Chains A and B, each alone.
Chain A
Amino acid sequence: MGSGHSHALYVHEHSFVHRMAPQAKLVAALGMVASIAITPREAVWAFGVYAVAIVGLTLVSRIRPGFVAVRLFAVAPFVLFSLFIPFIATGETIEVLGFAVSVDGLWGTWNILVKALLGASVSILLTATTQIADIIRGLAILRVPALFISITTFMIRYLELISDELGRMRIAMTARGYDPRWISQARPIATSAGALFVRSYERGERVHAAMLARGFTGEMPTPPLESVDRRQWLRVLVLVGAFVGTATVALVIT
Chain B
Amino acid sequence: MHAPDGFLEPSVAVVTAIISLVVIGFALRQSREQLKDKAIPLAGITAAFIFAAQMFNFPVVAGTTGHLLGGALAAILLGPSVGAIIVTIVVVVQALAFADGGLTALGYNVLNMAIVPAYGGYAVFRLLRRVFPSTAGGVVGATGIAAWASVVMAAVAFSIEWLFGASAPVAFDTVFGSMVGIHVLIGIGEGIISALAVGAVLASRPDLVYGAQDLDQAQLTESKVGTRTFVIGGMLVALVFAAVVSQFAVDNPDGLEKVAEDTGFIESGEEHSLADSLFSDYATSGISNEALSLAVAGIVGTVVVLLVAFGLFSAVRETRSRDPSSV
A253 on the B face (CB < 8 A): no
- Chain B residues with CB under 8 Å of A1's CB are 1-2, 54, 67, 69
Assess whether A123 is in contact with B2, with CB atoms less than 8 Å apart. no
Closest Cβ–Cβ distance, residue B130 to chain A (whole Å) = 24
Q: Which of A2, A158, A194 contacts B200 (CB 8 A)?
A: A194
Q: How far is the CA of A202 from the CA of B285 in the complex (A)?
A: 54
Assess whether A78 is in contact with B52, with CB atoms less than 8 Å apart. no
A190 on the B face (CB < 8 A): yes
Assess whether A152 is in contact with B89, with CB atoms less than 8 Å apart. yes
Interface residue tally of chain A, by bracket? 35 or more
- Chain B residues with CB under 8 Å of A191's CB are 196-197, 199-200
- Chain B residues with CB under 8 Å of A30's CB are 103-104
Stretch from B166-174, B271-279, B291-299 forming part of the interface with A:
B166-174
Assess whether A102 is in contact with B85, with CB atoms less than 8 Å apart. no
Given contact pairs A127-B97, A183-B59, A90 touches B86 in the complex (Cβ within 8 A): no
Q: How far is the CA of A30 from the CA of B95 in the complex (A)?
A: 12
Assess whether A220 is in contact with B99, with CB atoms less than 8 Å apart. no
Assess whether A37 is in contact with B168, with CB atoms less than 8 Å apart. no
Assess whether B3 is in contact with A78, with CB atoms less than 8 Å apart. yes
- Chain B residues with CB under 8 Å of A154's CB are 40-41, 43-45, 47-48
Task: Count chain B residues whose beta carbon lies closer than 8 angstroms to a beta carbon of A.
Answer: 84
Q: Which of A6, A120, A135, A185 contacts B4 (CB 8 A)?
A: A120
Chain A proximity mask over B4-16: 1 for CB below 8 Å, otherwise 0: 1111001001000
Assess whether B167 is in contact with A162, with CB atoms less than 8 Å apart. no
Q: Tally A-B pairs: CB < 8 A.
A: 296
Stretch from A52-60, A81-89, A231-239 forming part of the interface with B:
A81-89
Q: How far is the CA of A92 from the CA of B44 in the complex (A)?
A: 52
Assess whether A194 is in contact with B40, with CB atoms less than 8 Å apart. no
Q: How far is the CA of A194 from the CA of B189 in the complex (A)?
A: 15
B198 on the A face (CB < 8 A): yes
Q: How far is the CA of A88 from the CA of B90 in the complex (A)?
A: 33
For chain A residues 134-174, which have a beta carbon within 8 Å of chain B?
Answer: 135, 139, 145, 147-148, 150-159, 161-163, 166
Assess whether A186 is in contact with B192, with CB atoms less than 8 Å apart. yes
Closest Cβ–Cβ distance, residue B223 to chain A (whole Å) = 18
B22 on the A face (CB < 8 A): no
Closest chain A residue to B95, Cβ basis: A123
Q: Which of A33, A120, A194 contacts B201 (CB 8 A)?
A: A194
Q: Which of A127, A193, A205, A207 contacts B98 (CB 8 A)?
A: A127
Assess whether B48 is in contact with A5, with CB atoms less than 8 Å apart. no
Chain A proximity mask over B158-182: 1 for CB below 8 Å, otherwise 0: 0000000001111100100000000
Assess whether A201 is in contact with B63, with CB atoms less than 8 Å apart. no
B193 on the A face (CB < 8 A): yes
Assess whether A123 is in contact with B167, with CB atoms less than 8 Å apart. no
Assess whether A38 is in contact with B45, with CB atoms less than 8 Å apart. no
Assess whether A123 is in contact with B170, with CB atoms less than 8 Å apart. no
Q: Which of B48, B55, B205 contacts A4 (CB 8 A)?
A: B55
For chain A residues 44-99, which have a beta carbon within 8 Å of chain B?
Answer: 71, 74-75, 78, 82, 85, 88-91
Q: A204-B44, A208-B42 are in contact. List 8 more A-B contacts (CB 8 A).
A: A1-B2, A37-B5, A75-B4, A91-B285, A115-B102, A154-B41, A191-B200, A196-B49
